[in-house]
Amino acid sequence: MSAKLMVGTELAAEMVARAGERAKKLVEETGVQPCLATVLVGDDPASATYVRMKQNRSKKAGIGSRSVVLPAATTTEELVAEIEKLSADPAVHGILLQHPVPAQIDERAAFEAIAPGKDVDGVTMHGFAAMAFGEPGFVSCTPGGILRLLQAYDVPLEGAHAVVIGRSPILGKPAGMLLLASNATVTYTHSKTRDLADIVRTADIVVAAVGRANFVRGDWLKPGAVVIDAGYNEGNVGDVHFEEAAEVAGLITPVPGGVGPMTIALLLEQTVEAAEALTRAVSETVAHQLDHLS
């Protein structure tokens, strides 16, 4: 293997520790403990594992959790009603709806029931638009985590050609938008792209987010390319054939231990940020009302 590893585990642990310090400070100063509500629909074991990981790491950072688990037969209306309750609950600062939801549910409608100020997972249209326009807001966690990793490893983005493989609304599309905002030249590709390997061979940075195990092969890569594997296929297998790619790439993320931990770290960081912002907004409203009374 000639590539250097881009390890997410340690960087993510530092981010979780920093989120924990901020959570502690908020509790000390205001008595408010940041709280992340997780919503899991159905009994997909992988989704249950990811939600458990998010709850465990929240606990480690001093972030409270609220857990909503709904049966696989839940309707869109029932799910939307649950999420609307969490959106209106002042003790909840962030809401995570675990993707995917069962097929009968309109996932977009469910995501849109998340109040924009509590969309710490960056899955709403408001969050996406804010990111696309460069306005303040919460970014989708895996793309945001990928950008943090690239920055931590000093990967030059300005003018670099980044090829994103995959176009899902919470992974491929926002990953490309964030790279574009960092002045990379972005090419989006997907399962229907012609001559995909030839396009990938022109990339300085490859983001594999296609959801197919070992899809990207070593001979698709330009020597020295930076390879980000955002895949999380069954058995902890990424979208990149690691052994082949590591012989050609300059930098490469492993699976596990690369992008995955960064996803959860950013979710916690954004939950604390939401709690700080919502608490600030409440105290400003109270001060304003007191001003009016006096």
Ligand X SMILES: Nc1nc2c(c(=O)[nH]1)N[C@@H](CN(C=O)c1ccc(C(=O)N[C@@H](CCC(=O)O)C(=O)O)cc1)CN2
Q: Which of residues 101, 110, 120, 255 is near ligand X by CB under 6 A?
A: 255
Question: Out of 55, 58, 65, 263, which residue is the one contacting ligand X (CB under 6 A)?
Answer: 263
Q: Which residues 89-148 are close enough to bind ligand X by CB under 6 A?
A: 96-99, 121, 123, 141-142
From 75-83, 172-180, 251-259, 273-281, give the range in contact with ligand X by CB under 6 A. 251-259
Active site positions, annotated: 54, 98, 121
Q: Judged by CB under 6 A, which stretch of 30-38, 60-68, 87-95, 250-258 contacts ligand X?
A: 250-258
Q: ∠119-169-13 over CA atoms, to 5°?
A: 55
Cα separation values, 276 from 27, 66, 270, Å:
10, 18, 10
> Which of 37, 255 has the CB closer to ligand X?
255
Applying the rule CB under 6 A, the residues between 216 and 235 that interact with ligand X are: 232
167 annotated as ligand-binding? yes
Peptide bond into 100 cis (omega under 30): yes
Own/partner contacts of 199-203, CB < 8 Å, gap of 24 or more, are 199/163, 200/163, 200/165, 202/161, 202/163, 203/161, 203/162, 203/163
- Cα end-to-end span (Å), the chain: 71
Determine, following the binding rule CB under 6 A, whether residue 257 of this chain makes contact with ligand X. Answer: yes
Which sign, positive or negative, has the C-alpha torsion 279, 143, 71, 114? positive
* Shortest Cβ 188–ligand X spacing (Å): 19
Contact (Cβ atoms closer than 8 angstroms) between residue 53 and residue 16: no
Is 253 a binding residue for ligand X by CB under 6 A? The answer is: no
Q: Does residue 168 have a known ligand-binding role? A: yes
Q: Rounded to whole angstroms, how far apart are CA atoms 53 and 45?
A: 12
Minimum CB distance to ligand X, residue 289 (Å): 36
User: 98 or 270: whose CB is closer to ligand X?
Assistant: 98
Which residues in this chain contact ligand X in the complex, by CB under 6 A? 50, 96-99, 121, 123, 141-142, 170, 232, 236, 255-257, 260-261, 263-264
